[in-house]
Chains A and B, each alone.
Chain A
């Protein structure tokens, strides 16, 4: 247990521009010198926006850099999977390749991660599976941000009866757990593609963003510049999108980035349960589900898609964490 009376355990406000994580690692003299340099820098560029500030902060964060590189790699993999492997993810050879063990000598080749229960190259399936996950993650997040953002903006801006109605609708949707609702919705689709999963998750998931957006708009609405804008005759649209939105969007971006990883995990869970994506779509969730039957004899068939899924979710959550730390002044 730390000593609470010890002055150091109070952790005074970290210096502006230096992230909590970086700050935590520094000790003694280094801190003193840094502070002077920082003060200098701040004097020179006084007018820095929240975004410029956040971007400066992000660029020097190892967590942000690692996750950004990972996500970039995954997106490239989703768009150009053939650039990563020559193997056909749907080619099945039960005679020669049934559950063949990983061959490490076959570097980046078809047999690198071994073959699954239908004699298909696991490496190729891991590479091609990125597309479904990334598409679902990005599309659901985009849809949810638009839908929830708009609902939250309207509720927060107009207030009164409009707010009451929208807030109750949000409450209603909030009562249904995402996974459960998605199972019921998706069960109605006879054939399910990436898009049916996107529609189901967006339909149920927009409420979180709506709540965050509404809260942010309520705070920003009180600002003097909004009142001034209105006094100068700015219309509703201009007030909403030029004055309020840029100042209320930061918490929405944070929540959306963290939620993105969650949507990818939800899609995999749905596919795993057999009510998400279907063949011929290649999805890590489906592959994990079919690998569970052979988990004793061929753990590698489960390991590689599971690892790919975890790394993807991890990358987005780390990105969200880094963005939150950079945008939330309270944590500075």
Chain B
């Protein structure tokens, strides 16, 4: 187990450097001069431009910039945004909001998605199964931003239960609606994955054995069926946490949540290189850690899997 984790962590290192390098290249080598953008329509003083470029290390070759950035990163310094604010500072303000939003969305899709998947998977072809299939198909087809407007119109404008946009991003109750919208697409996938997986496992030999042993139905479903059916769901959920955070770009924009998605969207538009790279780096770390956890969870769920 210990050596497996170590091997996995070692494998993660080149992927971490590769992904950050890729995003670094995408941000800094593609056309568009961020320093010139700072001056807007006005002509920039060449001396000031040169000074700024030097300050932000932009006058160096790209590989030197990357090494410099990585060197600072390992000392906990994510660099300074072009507006002069440390990127860590920007992230410290925005990440807690998005983490709350993403976790709420995650809990929503996990609980409701699994329930729907179990209900429909246990009785294929029943009314509730067809209902779940149609519902999830609809949710998958309607793009998130359209779903957000529907939710806004129905719950805020028509019913008046919530305000159309979030007033205080620290208030959990206000984040509820954005979280549901954010998690809805993944909810549909979770429900469908669980349904398929349960449907397949229902026919497994160990299920017949469990029934033949006369185990109570509750035990069979929770211990035998569900545990074995969870593996594809867990695989999906593992990669989904990072996806939720980047999916927050759309949801946070529409609901005016002051989280990472909003900051990132603005930073991309203003070619705020340091902020974009910093946030994406954190998202990559979240993604890598989540996929490691998923691999370890496999062994917990399925006793046949052992990491020697």
Contacts and interface: CB of A to CB of B under 8 A. Distances in A.
Interface of A: 1-5, 9-13, 20-21, 23-25, 168-169, 171-173, 175-177, 179-181, 183-185, 187-188, 190, 261, 265, 268-269, 272-275, 288, 292, 295-296, 299, 302, 306, 309-311, 313-314, 317-318, 321, 330-331
Contacts of B269: 187, 274-275
5 contacts: A2-B122, A169-B18, A269-B145, A273-B253, A309-B146
Contacts, number: 149
B200 interface: yes
Given A187-B32, A310-B143, A295 B280 contact: no
Central interface residue in A10, A187, A292, A306, by most chain B CB within 10 Å: A187
Given A2-B122, A177-B283, A261 B249 contact: no
Contacts of A3: 217
A184 B276 contact: yes
Contacts of B51: none
The 8 closest A-B pairs by CB, nearest first: A24-B125, A188-B30, A172-B18, A314-B141, A177-B246, A175-B19, A180-B246, A306-B146
A168 B288 CA distance: 13
Given A175-B15, A184-B276, A310-B146, A4 B211 contact: yes
Given A5-B217, A169-B18, A296-B157, A176 B143 contact: no
B70 interface: no
Nearest to B247: A179
B4 to A, nearest CB: 17
Contacts of B207: 10
B284 A176 contact: yes
Nearest to B253: A273
Interface string B248-269: 0110010000000000110011
B26 A181 contact: yes
Contacts of B288: 175
B105 to A, nearest CB: 15
Contact of A179 (B157, B246, B284): B246
Contacts of B31: 188, 190
A23 B276 CA distance: 51
Nearest to A203: B26
B123 A2 contact: yes
Given A168-B15, A180-B246, A306-B149, 19 more contacts: A2-B123, A4-B220, A12-B203, A176-B19, A176-B23, A177-B246, A177-B247, A183-B249, A187-B268, A261-B140, A268-B143, A269-B144, A272-B143, A275-B268, A302-B149, A310-B138, A310-B141, A310-B146, A318-B137
Contact of B146 (A175, A288, A314): A288
B77 to A, nearest CB: 22
A273 B26 contact: no
A309 B143 contact: yes
B49 interface: no
A184 B220 CA distance: 49
A317 B137 contact: yes
B280 A9 contact: no
A183 B141 contact: no
A313 B141 CA distance: 5
B243 A177 contact: yes
B220 A10 contact: no
A185 B26 CA distance: 6
Interface string B193-235: 0001001101100011001000001001100000000000000
B142 interface: yes
Contacts of B202: 9-11
Given A187-B271, A273-B249, A330 B200 contact: yes
